[in-house]
Amino acid sequence: MSNATISDVAKKVGVSESTVSRYLSGFKVRNSESIKKAIKDLNYRPNIMARNLKSGKTGMVAVIVPDVTNPFFAAIVRGAEVAAGDDYMLQLISTGDDPEKEEAAIRRLSGRVDGLIYVPAKEDTDVITEFADYSFPVVFVDRVINNLRGFDSVLADNQTGAAMATNHLIDHGHTAIAHIAGPAASTPGKGRTEGYLAALKKAKIEKNHDYYVESDFTVLGGYQAMMGLLALKRRPTAVFVGNNLMTIGALKALKESKVNVPDEIAVIGFDDHELSDLVDPPLTVISRDAHLQGALAMSTLLERIRDGYQFPPKQLKVDSNLVIRQSCGSTCLYRKTDADKKILSSSTSS
């Protein structure tokens, strides 16, 4: 174990102890490379507890998610953990979609953490009314409580992603397109529904109210919603599902009902999954980088911890991307040449 002190590092480099301390706290200082080398040469290990007592910092950041078993939320946590580096440890709280559990957790965190990355279970709740009462900064991820939209946030480009999904189905020739949506009161549920409807409107496809099913972002919710669509007298020929868990439930319903994907119903989901390319057929999805969302949230939070509110709130968005596999079929009109379209048209009419 090294007995080197911060004073030893400062003497070796020829700078003050405060300069070394600022370097260790993440500030840009002169001679930073020399300080880094001296720390390595002397095998110096900062006394984190003493430094935290002196600075008033805890060295802890909390991450609250509704369900850590959801691969999307787990990826956010991993991204945040990597971005935190060695200076901060993460305290993970999975609330089971319970707003009251969130409130109790946040109240206990006051004075025990330096900041919070927060994915709220409900956005229309009034359980958490005044974060100003707490002593730490907050960064929202994926969702934002309605009356707290002045805080930093890192969201997905939900509207664009949903429009891409719907347009992909339209480009395959579908007009009877259903949407299994998340809660309309949630940021992702609302945004993805808006993107779906905008794409239908642009393509001059009339909205069929039977084809819009609001669900709850769970496997069971996706299963029940798809069963409801399959019970319709005129089934949709394609379905856009609003998140990964509901997509799993929807595929289960289709399999149980012996409905072939994509020949009878094409399926596209929002959010990729590690098994998406292993299911039969491999699943076409709208993907967004959840690791990046977690990392951006952490880097924004660390800025707040270090600099306070010297800059206005950040509302960051992560891009959505279409990942084409096989669950929408192999014939996509926009990928054909004009000559191919003419051949298709003439063979259909003859």
60-157+290-319 and 158-288+322-337: identical CATH topology = yes
E strands, 46-86, in order: 60-65
Q: Exposed, middle or buried, 107 (CB in 10 Å: 0-12/13-18/19+)?
A: exposed
Distance CA 146, CA 164 (A): 26
State residue 349's pLDDT score.
36
Q: How far is residue 326 CA from its own chain's centroid?
A: 24
State residue 337's pLDDT score.
39
Neighbours of 62 (CB within 10 A): 21
Average pLDDT, the chain: 86
Q: How are strands ordered across the β-sheet holding 60-65?
A: 89-94, 60-65, 115-118, 138-141, 152-156, 315-318
Residues facing 138 on adjacent strands: 116
**Cβ–Cβ < 8 Å for 285, 257:** no
The CATH architecture annotation of domain 60-157+290-319 reads: 3-Layer(aba) Sandwich (3.40)
pTM of the shown model: 0.77
Give residue limits of the domains in the chain.
6-46, 60-157+290-319, 158-288+322-337
State residue 343's pLDDT score.
32
Q: pLDDT band for 32, please (50, 70, 90 cuts).
A: confident
Cis peptide before 281 (omega within 30 of 0): yes
From the list 228, 291, 297, the residue with the least C-alpha distance to 257 is: 228
The CATH architecture annotation of domain 158-288+322-337 reads: 3-Layer(aba) Sandwich (3.40)
